[in-house]
Amino acid sequence: MAVTPAGAFASPTGMDAADWLPAQVPGTAAMALRDAGRHAIDNLLPLHDKDVWFRRVLAGTGEHRLALEGLATIAEVYLDGVPILVSQTMFARH
């Protein structure tokens, strides 16, 4: 997971140098920041004005199914740098 200034990246392309943190999934950005020692109840990092990125390398061959539940209210999903989903609600399963 990486947190960037809003709009700093239009897509995940070119984000290799971002400050990537390990993130447990399912989980939240706040949980990953807490686990990395960057988010505590007495030192909260505001996220409302940031972009939060999660990434995962898919291994193996053949068909895969990507199931997404409870994405943040506004979310974009990319596969190999190509947008495949835009979500406007956290209540939809994709």
- Per-position pLDDT tens, the chain of length 94: 999 999 999 999 889 889 999 999 888 898 999 999 888 778 777 888 999 999 988 888 888 888 888 887 789 999 988 999 999 988 888 8
31 contacts 47 by C-beta, under 8 angstroms: no
Q: How far is CA 3 from CA 66, 88, 89, 94, in A?
A: 23, 20, 20, 23
- pLDDT, position 58: 82
* pLDDT at residue 90 in the model: 84
Looking at residue 22, its pLDDT comes to 95
